[in-house]
């Protein structure tokens, strides 16, 4: 998901959830609302494809202008052969309830999520069912997950639309249109100081428990870390499970590339990972939390995105996987040079504490990556066939996860900030 509040940037950070077809570039997810309008109704309304092409092109252009509400209405109305007054109850609910929030509006504190999900993967509503079960017995999850109010999946997958349009190899990308309605939440990028650390920390603890219980998020980014206010406290929410997987799911899960490129672990931005040979592990998601926190701190002030000339790291959002890995590796070596200029004059103790936390966490990350590289180089030197991938894809135990997180939570800055939360 795009970093919250950064929809006005020159480029949206790409999501890497496309299956590998032999290419070396991670493609962004095809969430085009223009594609949504092409959807279900091509085969339902009896219109020949060649006659529909101008209409399709018009709606694609509308998508570029974010006219999502009109397009969704067209989709829903054409999904039924009945007249408007006789449309099924589902369509009436969509038209009256969902459309109001599709274009950034809020109805009674609700927001709508409309996306194309992989037909062969466990759906987000089913994953949220599992998440809710876990929340009933784990305080670190209870109250820290999104509240799904209503959802629907349309039956015609994208491959049938491709086939109707004469697109080659339509079966290679089978997606289903989902509409989900949630309670409104607020993005973590609106926070600063102790509140920022608190919500981020809550999301990390929620994520760890879910991973141990078999729900693997696999798309940690600032846009998926949310919050709401409960009394005097801010409650962190780990949001957006459309790229998540279940550890006990039946059938092959594979090592498909998932995540938002600027925040993905360095191991997942390699050529070998793009070939599907690297398993997405807990350590990858935890690393994403660190990249995301640095991103927020360096690019926002008091919850407001800095002007482009003052904010660093834009190149992370405009690079493909390999180039982004190069940029982030360089940052990891010289992050001290990114000390915000205003920090020296602000006199804010909490901001200095957060900067110290970033420094210490990135130092831990440096050490972990260096140790893993040393092991991989040793394996290559000994030419042990298969051992290289075994190190990359080593199984993680619950103890491994706790120990890994402990390397970060045990830093002086983390301990000091955590102690302030209880004051």
- Whether the predicted pLDDT of 417 surpasses 60: yes
Both structure tokens of 13: 């950070």
Alpha-carbon span 370 to 169, nearest angstrom: 42
Of 63-72, 105-114, 182-191, the range with the lowest mean pLDDT is: 63-72
Read off the pLDDT of each residue in 70-82 and give the average, rounded to a whole number: 52
Mean pLDDT to the nearest integer, 101-121: 70
In 213-275, which residue ranges form alpha helices assigned H by DSSP? 271-274
> pLDDT confidence of 92, banded at 50, 70, 90?
low
Region 360-366: mean pLDDT is: 98
**Which tokens in the block code for residue 383?**
């030419």
Residue 16 — very low, low, confident or very high, per pLDDT cuts 50/70/90?
low
Q: For 213-251, how does the pLDDT look when each residue is reduced to its tens digit (9 = 90+)?
A: 999 999 999 999 999 999 999 999 999 999 999 998 754
Tokens in use for 282? 């807990």
* Spatial CA neighbour of 117 closest among 258, 13, 2, 301: 258
How much helix, strand and coil, in percent to the nearest 5, is found in the chain? 50, 10, 35
pTM for the structure as a whole:
0.77
Q: What tens digit of pLDDT does each residue of 327-352 get?
A: 999 999 999 999 998 887 776 888 99
Which burial class, exposed, middle or buried, applies to 271 when counting CB atoms under 10 A from its CB (0-12, 13-18, 19+)?
Answer: exposed
């Amino acid at each position: 998901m795009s970093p919250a509040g950064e929809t006005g940037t020159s480029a949206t950070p790409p999501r890497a959830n496309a299956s590998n077809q032999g290419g070396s570039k991670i493609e962004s997810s095809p969430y085009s609302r223009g594609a949504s309008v092409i959807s279900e109704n091509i085969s339902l309304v009896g219109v020949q494809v060649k006659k529909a092409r101008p209409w399709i092109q018009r709606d694609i252009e509308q998508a570029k202008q974010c006219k999502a509400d009109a397009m969704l209405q067209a989709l829903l109305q054409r999904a039924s052969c009945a007249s408007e007054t006789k449309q099924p109850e589902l369509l009436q609910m969509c038209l009256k309830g969902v459309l109001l929030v599709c274009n950034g509006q809020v109805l009674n504190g609700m927001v709508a999520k409309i996306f194309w999900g992989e037909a062969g993967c466990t759906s987000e509503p089913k994953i949220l069912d599992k998440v809710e079960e876990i929340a009933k017995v784990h305080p670190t999850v209870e109250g820290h997950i999104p509240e799904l109010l209503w959802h629907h999946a349309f039956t015609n997958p994208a491959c049938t639309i491709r086939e109707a349009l004469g697109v080659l190899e339509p079966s290679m990308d089978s997606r289903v249109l989902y509409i989900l309605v949630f309670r409104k939440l607020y993005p973590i990028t609106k926070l600063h100081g102790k509140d920022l650390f608190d919500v981020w920390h809550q999301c990390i603890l929620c994520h760890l428990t879910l991973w141990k219980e078999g729900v693997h998020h696999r798309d940690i980014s600032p846009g998926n870390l949310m919050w709401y206010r409960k009394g005097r406290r801010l409650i962190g929410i780990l949001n957006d499970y459309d790229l998540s997987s279940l550890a006990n799911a039946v059938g092959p899960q594979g090592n498909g590339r998932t995540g938002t490129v600027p925040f993905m672990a360095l191991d997942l931005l390699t050529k070998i990972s793009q070939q599907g040979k690297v398993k997405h592990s807990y350590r990858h998601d935890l690393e994403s939390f660190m990249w995301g926190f640095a991103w927020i701190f360096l690019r926002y002030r008091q919850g407001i995105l800095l002007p482009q000339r003052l904010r660093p790291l834009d190149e992370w959002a405009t690079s493909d996987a390999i180039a982004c890995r190069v940029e982030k590796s360089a940052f990891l070596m010289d992050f001290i040079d990114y000390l915000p200029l205003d920090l020296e004059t602000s006199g804010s103790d909490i901001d200095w504490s957060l900067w110290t936390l970033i420094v210490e966490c990135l130092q831990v990350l440096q050490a972990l990556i260096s140790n893993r590289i040393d092991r991989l180089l040793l394996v290559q030197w000994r030419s042990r066939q298969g051992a290289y991938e075994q190190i990359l894809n080593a199984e993680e135990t619950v103890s491994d996860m706790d120990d890994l997180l402990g390397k970060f939570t045990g830093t002086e800055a983390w301990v000091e900030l955590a102690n302030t939360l209880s004051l």
